[in-house]
Amino acid sequence: MSESASVPRAPITSPATPPSAEAPVPDRRSAAVLWIACAAQFMVVLDVSIVNVALPRIRESLGLGPAGLQWIVNAYTLGFAGLLLLGGRLADLIGAKRAFTAGLAAFTAASLVCGLAGNGPLLIAARAAQGVGGALLAPATLTLIMTTFTEPRARTRAMGAWSAVMAAGGAAGAVLGGVLTQCAGWRWVFFVNVPIGVALLVAAARSIPVGQRPRAGRRLDLPGALTVTLGLTLLTYGIVATETHPWGAPQVFAPVAAALALLAAFAVIEARTAQPLVPLTVLRRPVLVLANSAVFALGAAMFAMWFLLSLYFQQILGWDPLRAGLAFVPGALSIIAGARIATRLIGRTGPRPLMVLGAAVSTAGFAWLSRIAADGSYATDVLPPFVLCTLGMGLAMMPVTVAATAGARPEEAGLASGLVNTSRQVGGAIGLAALASVASHTAASHGGTAAQAATAGYGRALLLAAAFTTLAALLSLALPGRAARA
């Protein structure tokens, strides 16, 4: 691959358009596509965190033990993370609208089954099906934006809206989960997806163009799809198992070793096949590799933060689900504010300075938040650092998505979207498992009361989250200088 291939082909600013110029106003259909894509992405991300606040009520209702309760979260993660690359490539092969519609229909149907589930195994199976639908749906949302908005400044603003909705979904999930669990019951954290999904299916049928049909001769790389899907699923499974087993246990070592072998086989297959699922040439683009690595690190910190704070509010401070959910509102607003600031500035600065600044602000917030105490105050000990964490995430997430997808040709839009979503989700799964394991082991070896021990574990885990965001800042600094203003 030539050296020029590493330079993004889609500039953030057009040479003919000064930074102060307004982006063209999108037509009605483009605006509808953006709204539909953002709403669907919000629903998918929401489902990662909306269940956290409802877990205690689910345990009481279905009589689940600790392991079963964890699998309500982990089943969704496994289905989602394992199939995202395949979902992204399918969007390229069958068309973004078809992939979007199929994923949304599967996600909506699985949500209905989750809400109706009368026992733990059925709920866990339906959660896995939700993850599969989300894995097809999530890359298609970003692909729709990339193929609908081709003018650079219009695309930047559209991706800013998508990133803000995506980042705010985690916080909004905790808020909505608390409200629904307290006021309507835990089943409504799943039922809420059904009317939204049906409405989006109707809107998509009317507003999203079919687009170009797949070119003749293009086919899915089935050996590559099988090995990477199984590899990512086993890797996620092995890391999730660290919540209940030590790293050296067979329950962890065996799936991780098998995953590494499958991913190595995937690399060999992709190097030899004529139409690979993930052309290895994309890994020669330093901007793409560094940006996706930063997405991975940011996702590891962000996913764990929602989970740990939800436990702290309910188990340490003794709050009910409604109050715990409302405590996340400032974080959701802070993420949206950060994303809007990034959208306004990226045309002048490029992604790199905003990525570095956002990751640095989040690092400061996590380091401060790690000092929480069992008798702490939300207003003085949690809220200020929490706002810093989420503001930094908002500042960084849109620029890092722009950097990770810049230069993708139309036929690569689904692949680029799948890589971004896979990096974020696998990073989130690994980060959540690693930080939850750190919290658990720290609490087990800590003296004092049970509340003090648990809080010490949360603090140590949040300090590790600061290490992840520091890594994201360093990766951002390593981006080629020309990527700062492509």
Question: Could you report the per-residue pLDDT of 433-457, keeping only the tens digit for each?
Answer: 788 878 888 888 887 788 899 999 9
Amino acid at 301: A
Q: Return the pLDDT at 218.
A: 61
Residue 25 scores a pLDDT above 60 = no
Tokens linked to 243: 């919540």
CB 281 within 8 A of CB 3: no
Measured in whole angstroms, how far is the alpha carbon of residue 99 from the centre of its chain? 19
Point out the least confidently predicted range of 2-11, 42-51, 99-108, 154-163.
2-11
Q: How confident is the model at residue 414 (pLDDT cuts 50, 70, 90)?
A: low
Cα separation, 161 vs 149, whole angstroms: 13
**What is residue 151's DSSP assignment?**
S
Residue 408 scores a pLDDT above 90 = no
Backbone angles phi, psi at 288, to 5 degrees: -65, -45
Q: Give helix 329-349 / helix 351-369 axis angle, nearest 10°.
A: 150
Compute the half-sphere exposure of residue 202: CA atoms within 13 Å on the CB side of its CA: 5
Enclosing H/E stretch for 9: none
Q: Return the pLDDT at 22.
A: 39
Nearest to 175 by CA among 297, 286, 394, 334: 334
The larger pLDDT score, comparing residue 220 to residue 481, is at: 220
Most confident of the following: 132-136, 176-180, 221-225: 132-136
Enclosing H/E stretch for 275: none
CB 313 within 8 A of CB 371: no
- What spatial distance separates the first Cα and last Cα of the chain, rounded to whole Å? 19
Q: Return the pLDDT at 214.
A: 53
In terms of Cβ atoms closer than 10 Å to its own Cβ (0-12, 13-18, 19+), residue 236 is: buried
Q: Return the pLDDT at 336.
A: 83
Residue 168 scores a pLDDT above 80 = no
Cα separation, 458 vs 442, whole angstroms: 8
Cα separation, 307 vs 8, whole angstroms: 36
Q: What is the mean pLDDT of residues 204-215?
A: 72
Q: What is the mean pLDDT of residues 392-411?
A: 79
Q: How confident is the model at residue 478 (pLDDT cuts 50, 70, 90)?
A: confident
**What is residue 118's DSSP assignment?**
-
Q: How confident is the model at residue 369 (pLDDT cuts 50, 70, 90)?
A: very high
The larger pLDDT score, comparing residue 147 to residue 195, is at: 195
Q: Return the pLDDT at 200.
A: 93
Residues contacting residue 334 through CB under 8 Å, at least 6 positions apart? 386, 387, 390, 391, 394
Amino acid at 380: T
Question: Could you report the per-residue pLDDT of 297-354, keeping only the tens digit for each?
Answer: 998 898 888 888 888 988 899 888 788 878 888 988 898 888 889 888 888 888 889 9
Residues contacting residue 286 through CB under 8 Å, at least 6 positions apart? 6, 479, 480
Question: Could you report the per-residue pLDDT of 186-202, keeping only the tens digit for each?
Answer: 899 999 999 999 999 99
Question: Could you report the per-residue pLDDT of 32-67, keeping only the tens digit for each?
Answer: 888 998 888 888 878 877 887 788 788 888 887 766
Tokens linked to 302: 């962000």
Q: Return the pLDDT at 458.
A: 93
Other beta carbons within 10 Å of 257: 13
Residue 89 scores a pLDDT above 60 = yes
Residues contacting residue 486 through CB under 8 Å, at least 6 positions apart? 7, 8, 10, 11, 12, 350, 406, 407
Cα separation, 255 vs 396, whole angstroms: 33
Tokens linked to 203: 């809107």
In terms of Cβ atoms closer than 10 Å to its own Cβ (0-12, 13-18, 19+), residue 263 is: middle
Residue 382 scores a pLDDT above 60 = yes
Q: How confident is the model at residue 17 (pLDDT cuts 50, 70, 90)?
A: very low
Amino acid at 218: R
Considering the chain, what is the average pLDDT of its residues?
81
CB 51 within 8 A of CB 72: yes
Enclosing H/E stretch for 441: helix 413-445
Cα separation, 75 vs 237, whole angstroms: 9
Cα separation, 155 vs 135, whole angstroms: 23
Q: What is the mean pLDDT of residues 167-173?
A: 71
Percent of the chain with pLDDT over 70: 88
Residue 282 scores a pLDDT above 80 = no
The larger pLDDT score, comparing residue 257 to residue 162, is at: 257
Residues contacting residue 461 through CB under 8 Å, at least 6 positions apart? 304, 308, 435, 436, 438, 439, 442
Q: What are the E-state strand segments in 325-484?
A: none
Q: What is the pTM of this model?
A: 0.76
Residue 7 scores a pLDDT above 50 = no
Q: Return the pLDDT at 107.
A: 95
